[in-house]
Amino acid sequence: MIRRRPTPGCLPPRQSRGFTLLEVLLAFVVFALSFAVVLEILSGSMRSTARAKEYTEVALIAQSIMDQVGLDIPLQPGFGLEGETGAYRWDLTIEPLKGANDTINSTELAELTGIDLLEVHLSISWGTYPRERSNQFSTIKAVLAEPLGGT
């Protein structure tokens, strides 16, 4: 009986005795890297949620303040007001509307229509340095123009 010598690429199967140390270490590294990526995604999601909460609160505060303009807050050119709502600081200014072009100014518009247009600017800021944030809001309000005779 002649025995054949196995070729290098066709060795007979060995009995499996478990994982080698290298395989275990490689599996651990893959697990650790994927776990770190998942943690980073979760922490980024939590930061985004907190930031969205802040901006939602700011928008609600801005809407509340803008709704008071003309009711509790006088709608007069040159009027300014500052205040705080919780952790948010705000600054409100009212000024005559500045036209995008010089074809007609707000005085001529008031004479033609009997209506003055005023710009209301609201700036809200929160947080402390270096993470201080702010947001600006603007709207246009219309008021009846005062007669030129001034009664």
Q: How many residues does the chain have?
A: 151
CB of 117 closer than 8 Å to CB of 106: yes
pLDDT attached to residue 26 = 95
Predicted confidence band of residue 31 (pLDDT cuts 50, 70, 90): very high
pLDDT attached to residue 72 = 92
The model's pLDDT over 64-107, given as tens digits with 9 standing for 90+, comes to: 999 999 899 999 989 999 999 989 999 999 998 876 555 566 66
pLDDT attached to residue 117 = 86
The distance between the two most distant Cα atoms of the chain, rounded to a whole number of Å, is 130
Predicted confidence band of residue 17 (pLDDT cuts 50, 70, 90): confident
Predicted confidence band of residue 113 (pLDDT cuts 50, 70, 90): confident
pLDDT attached to residue 15 = 66
Torsion of CA 73, 141, 83, 125, to 10 degrees: 170
* pTM for the predicted model, two decimal places: 0.67
Taking CA atoms, 105 is separated from 42, 92, 111, 143, in Å, by: 53, 23, 10, 16
Q: Higher confidence at residue 116 or residue 29?
A: 29
- Mean pLDDT for the chain overall: 85
The model's pLDDT over 39-68, given as tens digits with 9 standing for 90+, comes to: 999 999 999 999 999 999 999 999 999 999
Among residues 133, 123, 122, the alpha carbon closest in space to that of 52 is found at: 133
